Amino acid sequence: MKRPSKIRLGVNIDHVATLRQVRGGTTSYPDLMHFALEAVRGGAEQITIHLREDRRHIQLADLQLLAKKRPVALNLEMAASEEMLRFAKKYRPDWVCLVPEKRQELTTEGGLDVVKGAKRMSPMIEKLQRIGIEISMFIEPSREQVLASYEVGADAVEFHTGHWVLLKGDKKKREWKRLCEAAKLAHHLGLGVHAGHGLDPEHTRKIRALPELREVNIGHFLVCDALNEGLRKSVRRLKDVLEGK
């Protein structure tokens, strides 16, 4: 199979909001829109946010603002709940990515069980697609979950790459094989093939070998790397203030 001419980059800015919310939302910084624009200036073709039930990072006001002033396509990650369905219908992101969500987890721990939740998710997907929103399903790279995603009418699947990133040796090779097989099946069924979670430059370079890949969504690494690349300049600026410059 011929490689697509371009793999779309979605930048997840959740952890910019995490830094803001760590003080209970009492600060206006870091400014989420500023960092969304910075991501776009760097080459992002999509901004991704996850409005969680516990509002630990992204807030409803963030969704409202980004939906109104989106600089590029907006991808809303959300649980398959009636509350989130209402928000998606009201603010109309370009994409909705349905994800699993547990209140006690530090970050998304695995893929959505579409097989188990198909009956509940299918009408939600239909309602969102009816108003022009495209749907992806955040799933493990398994044949069963790909088939279930196709059957509920999704436009794409986003494979959870977090396990593959962390695994070593033969286990990593086996997980890569699962990714390859699941991507082939998804493409054969006409589903877009996306990937995300835990990706850094090393694994982003490796996952480009998937010829079916159309999109990656990356957040944590990029926010951490931005701190690494920019802290010296910020400290110098405040030091100059202290020195009366």
The span from the CA of 214 to the CA of 137, in Å, is 14
The amino acid that residue 13 corresponds to is I
CA distance 230 to 64: 28
Residue from 156, 133, 153 nearest 214 by CA? 156
- Residues in contact with 65: Cβ distance below 8 Å, sequence separation at least 6, in sequence order: 32, 33
3-state secondary structure of 48: strand
CB 167 within 8 Å of CB 161: no
Active site positions, annotated: 50, 77, 197
Which of 13, 69, 78, 74 shows the shortest CA–CA distance to 46? 74
| Residue 88: φ, ψ to 5° | -65, -40
DSSP state of 3: P
Rounded Cα–Cα distance for residues 127 and 129 (Å)? 6
Angle at which helix 114-130 crosses helix 82-91, to 10 degrees, equals 30
- What does the alpha-carbon distance between residue 29 and residue 19 come to, in Å, rounded to a whole number? 8
User: d(Cα 102, Cα 4) in Å, to the nearest integer?
Assistant: 35
Cα–Cα distance between 27 and 83 in angstroms, integer? 27
